[in-house]
Structure 1
Amino acid sequence: MSKLLTIAIPTYNRAAMLDAQLSWLSTELQGHEHQCEIVVSDNCSTDRTPEIIEAWRKRFEGRITFKPRRHGQNIGGMANIVYTIEQATSTFVWSLGDDDPIQRHAVPYILEKINDHPDLSLILLNGYGKDYNTNKILTERWFDSTSDKPMRNSVSDFEVFLEKHMGGVLFISSSVYRTKLVHRAFETWPDSPRNLAAQAYWVAYCAARGSFIVTPTLFTECAMGIGFTDKDPKWTFNIVFRAIPEVYLRLMRSGYSKRFCYEMLLRNVKSFGAWQLLGGSLRRWPLYSLQGFVYYVRGLVVGACLFATKSGTAEAIERAS
């Protein structure tokens, strides 16, 4: 019988954190073992990660379906996330970070909502952000949600979350996807692992093709300051001028309001902070930043052409599906 939920965990050189996450799951899945499976994809770690995975394989054997995978070389963080989700064979797949603490009863909650709402395409687990090094809370909550009633005006409702809560949309552990839809999102954008903000596209793609829930309960904690994105000094520039603009261009082609997406593209032109970021980046990496800005301007031109092409939302979603 097909499982209801895959917990998909990409990991790299965080053996102790992975061990803690699998220990939490071992307890969390008690009574739900037959409905769930765990996939762990090791991105060619050089620490004790393989030993931890093998130890848990033995502990889970006969109790929980556990599918360990290991790459022969590091394929990149985003590509490993995609690979892990692609291994899911269940109805839904939860993309879970190896370092993100989760509140108890998250799994029973997810399973309950999946069973209660057959047209559900996405669950976004609310949470907060805490600096790993100082324990200071940096973001009190990702989403301003007061109800876990499914939202059925999918595109217009989700545009609000894209505009106001992009950080939460991009947080790996927030997203529980209907598996067939997120796999289809990968197919519609095969190069998405090259984009640091691609998760926003995967999430929005799924949200537009059913009903979605954003939980009022804070289930997740984002451990800020230790992710692969935190170690890249060019990350913020890439997100603002390359990654997110490309996501909005993709969404313009997949059923979202062209007016909304183009307004989001224009944010960098209107934002003083974006110009400050560009100026600072030009001083540090002049050629790289200039190339990135040209890429952004080219995106504005493409977006203007798409915006000028009239197309109904429903028809666009149907074509993209």
Structure 2
Amino acid sequence: MEMVLPRKPALTICIPTYNRGKRVHALVLFLKQNLMPLTDDIEIVVVNNCSNDSTRELIEPLIGGGIKLYNRKEFLETAELNMFHSLELCAGEFVWYHGDDDIPTVGTILYLISMIRENAADLYVFNSPVIDDDGQVLCPKMVSMRNAYMDVSADQLIETAGFGFMLAGISNVIFRREYADIEIAWEAQAIQPLYSHVCWFLACFAHRRSRIVNMPLVYYRNSDGLKQVAHFKKVAERLNVADHHFWGVGMALQFKWLVDRGVITGGSLPRIFESRRDGSRFKLLNECIHKVYTQVVASIHFSEERFQVDAEVLAEIRNFFVSCDLFTYDLFEPILQLHQIATGQRSREELEELQATFDRIHRLHDADVYRNNWQGDRYGYHIYRMACHWVAVQPQIDGGVIAALSVIDLEEHAPALLLADNLDSLVAKAADQAKMGLARASRRRPVDLMQRFLSEYTSSVEVHRQAVTAGNRAMVDMHHLATRAVADLHHLGEQHISVMHRVAHEYSGSVQIYRQATLWVRKFTYLFTYPIGKCVRLGKRLLAR
């Protein structure tokens, strides 16, 4: 008789926790009451990192029926270390590290299990809403997205999901246990602990099947800026690094590690857009360089060892960033000069001027966030190479170009926004749209223009005829008619100019098409305005007599 092995759970919900006994107790209680009765494909593993509160006493009564508790005997310094060491405790086919203060949504978890059973992907990233410490929703989605999901790989993953927010929120990411190489996690941890799990996810799954799901897996709790700054300042002091090291020098070294390992390409770095807790987006590379600058400035003001920036490390970071994006050369010039002040090679009298120079350059770079995606203009469209598509956008698109490109799963909305898999196909689409626009304009705008022009012209000719033939009228009547004729001509000119401005605005994106569309209009305009001008001059001569 063959031995029947127990079925492996589809998903392990692993909850690393430290000194949040009441929080983690409420979370496990909720899952036991609302999720566990609906599926036998889940196990819950709580990993207690030597908490000195009542975590153990609160969780132990809930053990059983797929719920487990592990109490560490040795404290691990960071949440990332607790995550990495917890992997061996997870028996599920997929692992979900669940933040102990985040609020899960049961329906989405069941949908996740169905995708796991369908073998849809190896890594899932969910587009969850963000809440504050009081549970109030700050933004309904971490990124702007339209469809139910999008499948990505390689550079597409980091260019769409970012690095330090959506992927960094452990409750948003579920991964296949089989492909999670723990040795890679230790390599990432050696660079710096913060965001080491993101490097681990990317290194293990960037070239496998990844799916971004546009559903709320959790309500992701994100503390306000002041609380986060205070927390990470304590972590920085404990690890003996500068306050901004994690997002400056540390993150830069992580990027270099990812590129050196072939996880991502250097060219993808300037195309990474990160989300804020309010849903807005920014260019991560610019922000990282700004934190390097902040760290260098701090090294001028503080003599403590942890604030100092090693010259070789700074040169390594600078050369790496320049190799990925040559625009960063201008940002690093004042940073290098500021570092010379910190090391005594330049006078502190230059400090304010160099800071002002960096701030000015950084503002200019930050204003054009899609500069590295832009690929020129064609047929009145701006052309961009985005993560998953080539995109053509009309400059006058509703909401503006930046808002249109902030959607990670772009959809075509002709004629304002066009998509294609390569540049040639996109340019062909843009050309077709320009031709259709020209055809519509040739049927509508010039005809309307000429009808209005002919009507006004006929009226003005009649006025002039009456002015010329009524020689027996008094001079005051003659003057009145001539003045009226001139006023009518002026009004006609204003209307003509107004119409032509609208035509020019419609074709401002393609001067050549505009000239072709209005060539015969301008010729007719000349033919009709010439006799009008003759009439005006004749009227003036009559008035002068």
The answer, yes or no, to whether TM exceeds 0.5 is yes
Instruction: Find the aligned partners of 1:273 and 1:138 in 2 and give their Cα distance.
Output: 25
SS at match of 1:217: coil
Instruction: Find the aligned partners of 2:199 and 2:168 in 1 and give their Cα distance.
Output: 9
Deviation of 1:111 (Å): 0.3
Identity of matched residues, %: 18
SS at match of 2:74: coil
Q: Assess if the C-alpha contact under 8 Å between 2:93 and 2:178 holds in 1.
A: yes
Q: 1:9–1:288: structure 2 CA closer, same or farther, 3 Å change rule?
A: same
Q: List per-residue Cα deviations over 1:25-81 (Å, max 9, x = no partner).
A: 112122212x11111110000000010121111xxx2x22x3321112321221101
The aligned counterpart of 1:196 is: 194
Instruction: Find the aligned partners of 1:80 and 1:148 in 2 and give their Cα distance.
Output: 32
The aligned counterpart of 2:231 is: 231
Q: Assess if the C-alpha contact under 8 Å between 2:184 and 2:203 holds in 1.
A: no
Q: Assess if the C-alpha contact under 8 Å between 1:29 and 1:107 holds in 2.
A: no
The aligned counterpart of 2:31 is: 25
Q: 1:298–1:282: structure 2 CA closer, same or farther, 3 Å change rule?
A: same
* Amino acid in the other structure paired with 1:156: D
User: Are 2:216 and 1:213 equivalent residues in the alignment?
Assistant: no
TM-score normalised to the size of structure 1?
Answer: 0.79
The aligned counterpart of 1:94 is: 96
Q: 1:281–1:263: structure 2 CA closer, same or farther, 3 Å change rule?
A: farther
Deviation of 1:8 (Å): 0.7
Deviation of 1:3 (Å): 1.5
The aligned counterpart of 2:53 is: 47
Instruction: Find the aligned partners of 1:142 and 1:132 in 2 and give their Cα distance.
Output: 17
SS at match of 2:217: strand
Q: List per-residue Cα deviations over 1:103-135 (Å, max 9, x = no partner).
A: 23132011011122x2511111222332215x5
Q: Assess if the C-alpha contact under 8 Å between 1:151 and 1:157 holds in 2.
A: no
Instruction: Find the aligned partners of 2:128 and 2:288 in 1 and give their Cα distance.
Output: 29
SS at match of 2:105: coil
Instruction: Find the aligned partners of 1:285 and 1:140 in 2 and give their Cα distance.
Output: 44
* Amino acid in the other structure paired with 2:154: V
Unaligned runs of 5+ in 2: 1-6, 237-242, 273-282, 326-545
Q: Assess if the C-alpha contact under 8 Å between 2:14 and 2:44 holds in 1.
A: yes
Q: Assess if the C-alpha contact under 8 Å between 1:195 and 1:243 holds in 2.
A: no
Deviation of 1:268 (Å): 5.0
Q: 1:270–1:36: structure 2 CA closer, same or farther, 3 Å change rule?
A: closer
Q: Assess if the C-alpha contact under 8 Å between 2:267 and 2:324 holds in 1.
A: no
Q: List per-residue Cα deviations over 1:169-214 (Å, max 9, x = no partner).
A: 10111110111122x1x32242434520112212223442322221
User: Are 2:261 and 1:260 equivalent residues in the alignment?
Assistant: no
Instruction: Find the aligned partners of 2:229 and 2:85 in 1 and give their Cα distance.
Output: 18
Deviation of 1:288 (Å): 1.5
The aligned counterpart of 2:173 is: 175
Q: 1:204–1:39: structure 2 CA closer, same or farther, 3 Å change rule?
A: same
SS at match of 1:190: helix
Instruction: Find the aligned partners of 2:19 and 2:265 in 1 and give their Cα distance.
Output: 41
* Further displaced range: 220-229 or 90-99: 220-229
Q: Tell me: higher relative CO, structure 1 or 2? Use CA pairs within 8 A at least 6 residues apart.
A: 1
Deviation of 1:215 (Å): 1.7
Q: Assess if the C-alpha contact under 8 Å between 1:122 and 1:176 holds in 2.
A: yes
> Matched residue pairs, number?
295
Deviation of 1:297 (Å): 4.1
The aligned counterpart of 1:151 is: 151
* Amino acid in the other structure paired with 2:74: Q
Instruction: Find the aligned partners of 1:228 and 1:71 in 2 and give their Cα distance.
Output: 26
Q: 1:73–1:114: structure 2 CA closer, same or farther, 3 Å change rule?
A: same
User: Are 2:17 and 1:4 equivalent residues in the alignment?
Assistant: no
Structure having the larger proportion of residues in strand: 1
TM-score normalised to the size of structure 2?
Answer: 0.48
SS at match of 1:239: helix
SS at match of 1:2: coil
Q: 1:275 aligns with which of 285, 288, 293?
A: 293
* Amino acid in the other structure paired with 2:100: D
The aligned counterpart of 1:141 is: 141
SS at match of 2:68: strand
